[in-house]
């Protein structure tokens, strides 16, 4: 059981090519990390997997437990078990957090089935407590007026509530203070287990101290150029990305510059 990204090519609809033959496999129970320079295509990868309408896939496939999800609507992908913690979570005025998460859970039930309210609030409060989110948060509009850190916590709360089988966390650590980073990491770690595959996208080794990945990948110019154990992250932290670019053959880079 895994999320397989095979030879994925994608571009902005009617625009520039961003992903150029990307391969990745995330097994259930494992944690993979992607690092890579700004603009290399990390968020694009996560949005293409989730089905964002700004992008079109020109080649390749994305298999969720063997099922190609590329023809599916974003909501169907979500209900199939895919979760994306956004780099920039969106504000939804007037819709309370409690109602939003409830609607998302309700959407997973068969027609005619109703979410049980007391059970729902029980679960919600438990997860909120774990993430040290205050109770008044349930009545506030989704992400509206939230601080950067609060938004990221909210993403992890939604992930905990929706119980996906594969979760992509796009820079969930950025904007978090040191204490919040610990709390959120603990929250993610609590969800780790044999029924969840995680892909964390980050710029900082610091996060990986808390959420130890099984594999670290480097994404440059729309494809994975290197994969290794957690020690790779330490190396990147120390040396930056230039040495990887240098090691890659001049020819490949000359044909497809990093910032096309």
Ligand X SMILES: Nc1ncnc2c1ncn2[C@@H]1O[C@H](COP(=O)(O)OP(=O)(O)OP(=O)(O)O)[C@@H](O)[C@H]1O
Q: Which is nearer to other proteins, 161 or 248 (by Cβ)?
A: 161
Distance of CA 90 to the CA centre of its chain: 15
Please pick, from the candidates 9, 35, 37, 43, the single residue that binds Mg ion as defined by CB under 5 A.
43
Q: Does 165 bind other proteins (CB under 8 A)?
A: no
Among positions 94-113, residues that touch other proteins (CB under 8 A) are 94-95, 99-101, 103-104, 107-108
Q: How far is the CB of 203 from ligand X (least distance, A)?
A: 6
Q: Does 39 bind ligand X (CB under 6 A)?
A: yes
* Cα gap 187→201, rounded to integer Å: 17
Q: Does 12 bind ligand X (CB under 6 A)?
A: yes
* Contacts with 256 (C-beta within 8 Å, 6 or more apart), sequence order: 20, 221, 222
Q: Does 162 bind other proteins (CB under 8 A)?
A: yes
Q: How far is the CB of 16 from other proteins (least distance, A)?
A: 19
Q: Which is nearer to other proteins, 163 or 226 (by Cβ)?
A: 163
Helix (H, G, I), strand (E, B) or coil at 221: coil
Q: Where are the beta strands (DSSP E) in the chain?
A: 2-12, 17-27, 31-35, 55-64, 67-68, 82-85, 92-96, 141-142, 166-170, 197-201, 215-220, 223-228
Q: Contact, 41 vs 219, CB < 8 A?
A: yes
| Six-digit token string for 228 | 């290794």
Q: Does 158 bind ligand X (CB under 6 A)?
A: no
98 contact, one of other proteins, ligand X, Mg ion, none, CB 5-8 Å limit per kind: none
**139-174 b/e with 16+ CB inside 10 Å = b?**
ebbbbeebeebbbbbbbbbbbbbbebbbbbbbbbbb
50 contact, one of Mg ion, ligand X, other proteins, none, CB 5-8 Å limit per kind: other proteins
Q: Does 51 bind ligand X (CB under 6 A)?
A: no
* Cα gap 11→28, rounded to integer Å: 28
C-alpha atoms less than 13 angstroms from C-alpha of 164 in its C-beta half-sphere: 29
Q: Does 50 bind other proteins (CB under 8 A)?
A: yes
Please pick, from the candidates 14, 16, 66, 90, the single residue that binds other proteins as defined by CB under 8 A.
90
Q: How many residues bind Mg ion (CB under 5 A)?
A: 3
Q: How many residues bind other proteins (CB under 8 A)?
A: 31
Query: What's the longest Cα–Cα distance across the chain?
Result: 61
Contact residues for Mg ion, defined by CB under 5 A: 42-43, 87
Contact residues for other proteins, defined by CB under 8 A: 50-54, 73-75, 77-79, 83-84, 86, 89-95, 99-101, 103-104, 107-108, 141, 158, 162
Contact residues for ligand X, defined by CB under 6 A: 12, 15, 18, 36, 38-44, 54, 87
């Amino acid at each position: 059981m895994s999320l397989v990204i095979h030879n994925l090519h994608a571009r902005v609809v009617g625009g520039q090519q961003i992903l150029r033959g990307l391969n990745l496999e995330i097994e259930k129970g494992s944690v993979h990390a992607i690092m890579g320079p700004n603009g290399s295509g990390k968020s694009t990868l996560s949005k293409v997997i989730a089905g964002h309408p700004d992008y079109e896939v020109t080649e390749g496939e994305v298999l969720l437990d063997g099922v190609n999800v590329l023809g599916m609507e974003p909501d169907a992908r979500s209900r199939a078990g895919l979760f994306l913690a956004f780099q920039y979570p969106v504000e939804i005025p007037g819709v309370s957090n409690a109602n939003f998460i409830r609607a998302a859970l309700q959407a997973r039930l068969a027609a005619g089935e109703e979410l049980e309210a007391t059970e729902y609030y029980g679960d919600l409060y438990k997860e909120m407590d774990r993430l040290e989110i205050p109770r008044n948060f349930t009545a506030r509009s989704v992400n509206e007026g939230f601080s950067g850190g609060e938004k990221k916590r909210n993403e992890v709360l939604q992930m905990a509530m929706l119980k996906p089988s594969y979760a992509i966390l796009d820079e969930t650590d950025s904007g978090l203070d040191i204490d919040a980073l610990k709390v959120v990491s603990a929250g993610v770690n609590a969800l780790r287990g044999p029924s969840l595959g995680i892909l964390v996208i980050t710029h900082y080794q610091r996060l990986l101290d808390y959420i130890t990945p099984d594999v670290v990948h480097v994404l440059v110019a729309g494809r994975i150029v290197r994969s290794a154990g957690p020690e790779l992250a330490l190396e990147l932290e120390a040396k930056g990305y230039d040495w990887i670019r240098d090691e890659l053959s001049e020819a490949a880079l000359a044909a497809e510059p990093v910032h096309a």
